[in-house]
Structure 1
Amino acid sequence: MTDHDPPFVSPVPAPSRLRALLPDLTPWHSSRDFRRMWVAGLVTVFGTFLTFIAVPLQLKELTGSALAVGAVGAVELVPLIVFGLYGGALADAVDRRKLILWTEAGLGVLSALLLLNTLLPDPMIWPLYVVAGLTSALAGLQRPAMQAIVPRIVAHEQLPAATALNSMRWQVGAIAGPSLAGVIIAFAGLPWAYALDIATYAISAALLVGLAPSPASHEADKPSLRGILEGARYAWSRKELLGTYAVDLAAMLFAFPTAIFPFLADDLDAPWALGLMYAAGAVGSLVVSLTSGWASRVHRHGRMVVWAAIGWGAAMAVAGWMHNIWLVLLFLAVAGGCDMVSGLFRSAMWDQTIPDELRGRLAGIEMLSYSVGPQIGQVRAGGMATLTNVRTSVWAGGLACVASVGLLALTLPKLMSYDQRTDEHAARMRGRRAAGSEVTEAA
């Protein structure tokens, strides 16, 4: 539900209406560090999606098993939880710039190991799982710092715009990466996908070196279990935040079938469309990002999170029912658009209400909410496809998402009533930023 303008207003000129829809570029213009991170992230996400397609496709070729492909999510799960929580505490205790830079270098090394394995006369299966687990661990260390650094380099009122721009960056890579991956793998082979991924990490690291230092707060403690529990207690005290975590976890658990896309493409007799299937969701997300100017006029963020998650599940269910590849791609794109809406308002709630001294630890918890779900969701999708069939796994998961999110909405009144204009935590953070206590903008 959104707040609406009064029914009788003066007509707004068409150019003004168009500008109101276009994304807000203020963070890009006002912060040099934001520009560097944006470009570095764009380069990295392109390479990451090359590997994201290559690994399940290689496992499919080596094993022919949907369960083996879905098991990648299980391998990634424990490292993601452990290192995601630790990475959140680490982001509050060390220089966030250094943490981002070193983990980026480590991810590049892991891609090199995938390339070496692929170049063997008989590529082995177990390295794919080992590298998947190590990649998940490094991502768990890096992502909280990546998220926690944004409120330091972008002004408070620009955070929703920064979220939309960062999402748009991800979507461009998510469209180009899978689409080109299919072509590269088909015509050049898997090694080229991994080699290009290595190159993107090198370029990204070179850009991140130029970021301004982002040291820990003076009162920051060393990473510890006590510090992690402190962040968890704060999250538990904020029921509206817990609601965003729960909704996203349910949506991804039940309606994230990307692990079985290679098998769905075969079922549709359209193996040529595999890259398009992976990219379709990002196309829908990009459409929302390119028209995200309306988001700044929405204040009841919690309701938008819920309705968008329901739309995600419904679109996935319809995609599972369709037998025409173009209709499947259409509804995958609709699902991606809904997911973007949900992510935009989740991030706005997180960034505008969480204190800087807890930002890293809460970013770790947030990362688990939007990452653990997809990992378990891959296992669910692969296991259910094995027990039933690919289509049932997709549409039944979508319906389960709709039902679970609807139930959560009934049991989370604080999420449904959240209004950023009146919320005490948002008001407190506005005051702190206005006083200059947390603003660390780059020229």
Structure 2
Amino acid sequence: MSLRAILADTRPLQVPAYRRLWIANIATMIGAQLTVVAVPAQIYSITGSSAYVGLTGLFGLVPLVIFGLYGGSIADSFDKRKVLVGSTVGMIVTALTFWGLTVAGNTNAWWLLAVFSLQQAFFAVNQPTRTAVFRSILPLELLAAGSSLNMMLMQFGAIVGPLVAGALIPFIGYSWLYALDAALLIPTLGAVLALPALPPKGDVQRAGFRSIVDGLAYLRTQPVLMVAMLLDIIAMTFGMPRALYPEIAAVSFGEPGDGGIMLALLYSSMAAGAVLGGLLSGWVSRVVRQGLAVIVCIIAWGAAVVVAGGAVMLSPGAVTLWAWMVILMLVLGGAADMFSAALRTAILQQSAAEHVQGRIQGVYIIVVVGGPRMADVLHGWAAAPLGVGLTTLLGGALVIVGTLACAVLVPGFTNYLKPGPRDIAKQEP
């Protein structure tokens, strides 16, 4: 096999509209992470309370759930280009509002939480619309490759953005981080404005509750789509041990309570693995048995978490070979999860009819956001009686068991094949 066949499939970048969006997103993803770091850090600096910082999760999740559903309905009812323009402008305005509040000397955490909630609402409309657009601008055979490139870019931002924010806060403060976030959104706005008109197709409904209900009713009739989302919930809810990282670093690896290099590596290892997986994702676009490939990748993710949990249990309370085994397993698990997510996203884009793409992606963003948050609660609850190592190990085992159960109970997903153009045409009304 040639090196070119192993490395990421870059053919989607030959499509001008996709290329412009992807290149612009390099800056935008880094900018978004600046705000992700700055908001909780600023709230803590104002209040000195982790409880207030924790409210960012609630103020971020609620608009993501509400507008994830409603945003998908909007994407299916209006020209997707106009929806992207409006929501991107909204994110720029909220970033500038953060900047204005900080420059004005605001010391009220509730104002920051309110603006953060508004920003997440715009994001919840923007994200499913952006993903649904890929179906319109990319050929069918490039959807998996396009998803891989997009996910690699998101994980790259998740690594670089926090590092840049942490380095810049002592020098330029919070206000200019927000201004930089707004500036880094400008290239994406330009790329969106350059898109062609993308009017709704098929059975067009007015955005609203009825449209959302009809989208959910459509989803209920599509077992392949439902299993694709269920597998994401299984993988993240049981297999994401990030709530345990501080205790693992402090107790299992013997780091100081305020963290250190191992804590940083724990938090960045999965994202690093996802970037590595993206660079080596050339095979993803060639897979025909996509359902089986997803099953295998999620089992690999679960197995990596099992080994990581075992290594934590064997760690003597110092940074030894066992600690590095945990980091290695999380990197490999991150790569497997990236492959799985890219394939599942492609399946959702291929299998759902185009007139419901926005609503399907709206539901999916709730799944993607909600799974890790449920994992935080479950892992944190189980760690006290079981310990962090056993909790991690059992979580990985449950991922494997749940994935195998889906494979057996819904063979239609396991046997799912990458469709051809004629198969897609049959879906449209």
Correspondence for 1:17? 2
Distance in 2 (alpha carbons) for counterparts of 1:185 and 1:275 = 17
- Cα distance 1:129–1:411, how it changes in 2: closer, same or farther (>3 A)? farther
Determine whether 1:95 maps to 2:79.
yes
SS at match of 1:292: coil
- Cα distance 1:70–1:336, how it changes in 2: closer, same or farther (>3 A)? farther
> 1:55-66 counterparts in 2 under 5 A?
55-58=39-42, 62-63=47-48, 65=50
Q: Give CA-to-partner distance per residue, 1:236-288, whole Å, 9 cap, x none.
A: 11112111111101222233354675676666334356655443222211222
Distance in 2 (alpha carbons) for counterparts of 1:431 and 1:385 = 49
Determine whether 1:312 maps to 2:301.
yes
- Cα distance 1:391–1:186, how it changes in 2: closer, same or farther (>3 A)? farther
The root-mean-square deviation of aligned C-alpha atoms, in Å, is 3.3
Which residue among 150, 161, 167 is the counterpart of 1:177? 161
Correspondence for 1:10? none
CA contact (8 A) 1:74 1:375 kept: no
Higher mean C-alpha displacement, 240-249 vs 75-84? 75-84
> 1:137-152 counterparts in 2 under 5 A?
137-152=121-136
When normalised by structure 2's length, the TM-score is 0.83
Pairwise CA distance, 1:391: 6.6
Distance in 1 (alpha carbons) for counterparts of 2:121 and 2:263 = 27
Pairwise CA distance, 1:69: 4.7
Unaligned runs of 5+ in 1: 1-15, 439-443
Pairwise CA distance, 1:147: 1.0
Amino acid at match of 1:377: A
Which residue among 360, 363, 372 is the counterpart of 1:362? 360
- Cα distance 1:414–1:68, how it changes in 2: closer, same or farther (>3 A)? farther
Amino acid at match of 2:21: M
SS at match of 1:24: coil
CA contact (8 A) 1:101 1:208 kept: yes
Distance in 1 (alpha carbons) for counterparts of 2:83 and 2:303 = 39
> 1:251-400 counterparts in 2 under 5 A?
251-258=235-242, 268-269=255-256, 270-272=259-261, 276-316=265-305, 318-319=307-308, 321=312, 324=319, 326-380=324-378, 397-400=395-398
Q: Give CA-to-partner distance per residue, 1:45-79, whole Å, 9 cap, x none.
A: 111122223344455664554x6655533333332
SS at match of 2:2: helix
Amino acid at match of 2:289: R
SS at match of 1:213: coil
Distance in 2 (alpha carbons) for counterparts of 1:361 and 1:258 = 29
Identity rate of aligned residues, in percent?
33
Which residue among 53, 58, 68 is the counterpart of 2:37? 53
SS at match of 1:293: coil
Determine whether 1:202 maps to 2:186.
yes
Distance in 1 (alpha carbons) for counterparts of 2:156 and 2:25 = 11
Q: Give CA-to-partner distance per residue, 1:86-130, whole Å, 9 cap, x none.
A: 111111111111111221121223233444555576744334433
Correspondence for 1:11? none
Pairwise CA distance, 1:300: 2.3
Correspondence for 1:243? 227
Correspondence for 1:232? 216
Pairwise CA distance, 1:327: 4.3
